[in-house]
Chain A
Amino acid sequence: MIEFRNVSFSYPNSKDGCLKNINLTIPDGQCVLLCGRSGCGKTTLTRLINGLIPQFFTGEVTGEVLLNGENIFQLPMYRIAEKVGSVFQNPRTQFFNVDTDSEIAFGIENQALPHDELKARVKQTAEELHIQKLLGRNIFALSGGEKQKIAFASVYTMKPEIMLLDEPSSNLDMSAIVELQKHLKLIKSQGKTVIVAEHRLYYLMNVVDRILYLENGSITGDYSPKQFRALNSAKRCTMGLRTVDLCKERPLYFAAPHATPVLELRNVALSYEKKTVLHNISLQAGHGEVIAVVGHNGAGKTTFSRTLCGLHKECFGEYLWNGKTQKPKARMKRSYMVMQDVNYQLFAESVGAECTFGIKQPNIPLAEKTLSELGLAPYRNHHPNTLSGGQKQRLAAATSMVCGKELLLFDEPTSGLDYDSMVRLAALIQKLSGMGKVIFIVTHDYEFVCRTCTRILHFGGGQIQNDLSVTEENLPKIKSIFNVG
């Protein structure tokens, strides 16, 4: 049992993520969802349970958190680790080993279990989570979803009574989310206490027993799943929460009659390290089209997007812009990609400087106008790294607008975004589309696709499986591509 008694916490020099006077009891075996806007304090709450606060993150704490009657603040981290397992958001920075087997065993190795038991436990974990085919692999060669499974398995192997998951689905595709859901059901059936902090809610609706809504550091809602589902969507939107049922989502924009094509690919084939990844790609796209690029991991979405931007050179066939063949260099000049981890593409020391970074004769009024249109003007003198995830994305998009790029690509833009940021991003994409840009969005997020896209490009088996306009007739097919319904 976890008990919070009058707990308040604040980080030094930051108002975000503080907690105010929390009183909460989570009985054994309960599965709890923590939701709320970014910075509402849900991550902070998990950190108080796994001991990261106060032992890792310092700040001002009052009150006490009890784990089976013991005060957590008095326990050393490694003792807490035996009882509370934690899985985090970013699969790339969670592993300590290079090979999967050792990583799964990492926690129990630290507990100094005897060798035979280590082997037995790893085997048992692999069987129970159905990840035998991931054993004996190099972690660097795994996809994000597979890495996340290994992270989960590593904690699972330690058999903690409590499992904490902090935005575990952020970097996962649809099928990986389905498997995460299965794994959550499994640990729940084993009687473990499960606490999930998450923005994507739909996959948790038939798993959790209780939903806590946090707002500015206080718990302002404590719902059963039934009560939570009964909230109407308008109410949910004002709470800043994402959809609870994907089936109810419907596209907001239907495909307009075909605009004159500006981009054309003729019989393009792409290879990566001399192996063909995609072949026989022919498509046309017009100004203002917003195209979702979907497909499972390894289907070639990344190679495709890098080719569109001229970053990938192993490309055969014709790439035309306004009817003229384009060399990679020219493509690069014309296009911009907002990367999944946008941190890699922010270089300057302030938001204002970022907008004009690398441009020889920057158009300052345009930069200013763009910043204020995207709601970034108040942060002009802040460092880009101090912005939230959504703001960073908008900043990256702003730089592309200042450079006058005509083809834009977003790679998994909704990972880790809360509802408000997602809505803002959707609005931004509408605006860009209105400006006549050709936009591609690599995404798994059906809710987001419904809010932005007019066309779906589905890769599979080394080629384009489907190229569908978003229309009433195509809707069932689109839903099946996204595994919805």
Chain B
Amino acid sequence: MNQQLTVKKGLAAKDLVSVGIFSALFLVFALVGGIFFAPNPVLTFYMPVGSALLCGPVYLLMLAKIQKRFVVSILGVILCIIWFVTGMHWAMALGYLVMGVVADLVAGIGKYKNKKINSLSYILISLGGTASYLVFFANPDGWAKTMLGNGTEQSYIDTMRSTGTVWIMVIMLVGTILAAAISALVGCKMLKKQFEKAGITK
């Protein structure tokens, strides 16, 4: 009896535990990156940029370690739940959920092995963080209304429109994509230079 054993299909307990651990790291890095921006009124809109900047290596190592379907989706769902539970805007939670599934599908094109496609999928999931701000820009009055009670001042909405909110949005989106790309690049380098040599990934 000679059997060459192969890896089981589907997610085993081992994969679920690994996803949990990497999600924890992802969350911590996203918070650390975001917290630099969040409490600063001028920079708060660039929080997704900060979050995207730090998580790339974690994301890519996770995919390199567990090359299976649903891994990224689970990460998306976890982030969605965490953001929702901590009271972030519902759109941010939803953004991570949707972009998690999208990123999973995209990474699947390269069978989760192609680093370039994995990097692209990282950029996509990072964009999930911008969702709440997009909703904000789509409907600033609504935001202000809940904020200030029923007496929304016209002047507030006027200033909001005049300060070039469109630019803030563009910078935020482009910045997030760029930051995610840089982070993914660093991640790829780190995988090649360190983790593959170290025998942590194949």
- Which A residues contact B (CB, under 8 angstroms)? 54-56, 58-64, 77, 349-350, 382-386
Contact = CB atoms under 8 A, between A and B. Distances in A.
A274 B10 CA distance: 51
A96 to B, nearest CB: 9
Given A349-B194, A383-B194, A58 B199 contact: no
B5 A386 contact: no
Given A349-B193, A383-B194, A61 B199 contact: no
Contact of B7 (A58, A60, A349, A384): A58
Contact of A62 (B2, B6, B198, B199): B2
B198 A385 contact: yes
A63 B7 CA distance: 20
Contact of A383 (B5, B6, B13, B198): B198
B30 to A, nearest CB: 22
B5 A64 contact: no
A358 to B, nearest CB: 16
B14 interface: yes
B5 A349 contact: no
Ranked 10 nearest A-B pairs via Cβ: A385-B198, A383-B197, A383-B198, A54-B5, A58-B5, A349-B193, A349-B194, A62-B2, A386-B199, A349-B197
B197 A61 contact: no
Given A54-B3, A59-B5, A383-B197, 8 more contacts: A55-B8, A56-B14, A60-B3, A60-B4, A61-B3, A385-B198, A385-B200, A386-B198
B71 to A, nearest CB: 18
B1 interface: yes
Contacts of B199: 383, 385-386
Nearest to A346: B198
Nearest to A382: B197
Contacts of A59: 5
Contacts, number: 36
A58 B198 contact: no
Contacts of B8: 55
A64 B198 contact: no
A62 B1 contact: yes
A56 B14 CA distance: 8
Nearest to A348: B194
Given A349-B193, A385-B198, A64 B6 contact: no
A275 to B, nearest CB: 28
A61 B3 CA distance: 6
B194 A58 contact: no
Nearest to B194: A349
Contact of A61 (B5, B6, B13): B5
Interface in B69-117: none
A350 B6 contact: no
Nearest to B193: A349
A62 B14 CA distance: 24
A73 to B, nearest CB: 8
Interface in B157-202: 193-194, 197-200
B11 to A, nearest CB: 14
A386 B200 CA distance: 9
18 contacts: A54-B3, A55-B8, A56-B14, A58-B6, A58-B7, A62-B1, A62-B2, A62-B3, A349-B193, A349-B194, A350-B197, A382-B197, A383-B197, A383-B198, A384-B198, A385-B200, A386-B198, A386-B199
